[in-house]
Amino acid sequence: MAVKLEVTIAVSESGDLDFRFEFEDKDMRDKLERNIAESMAAACLNELKILGKTDEGNN
């Protein structure tokens, strides 16, 4: 199993977040690989939301 997951997060001057992810699975053999990569991206997004909520009062 080999899946490359790339997550990009950028914050604009106005404080808006740009969250992007893409993954590369050259073999495309196993649907489980894709599901794992999507789950990891979702976990990153959820963590980013949590961090955003805890940082709201610190700007």
Best CA proximity match to 19, nearest among 42, 1, 50: 42
Mean pLDDT for the stretch of residues 10-29:
79
Burial degree of 26 (CB within 10 A; 0-12, 13-18, 19+): exposed
Write down the pLDDT at residue 55.
67
Whether pTM exceeds 0.85? no
**pLDDT-based confidence at 28, cuts 50/70/90?**
low
Domain ranges, ordered by start, for the chain: 4-58
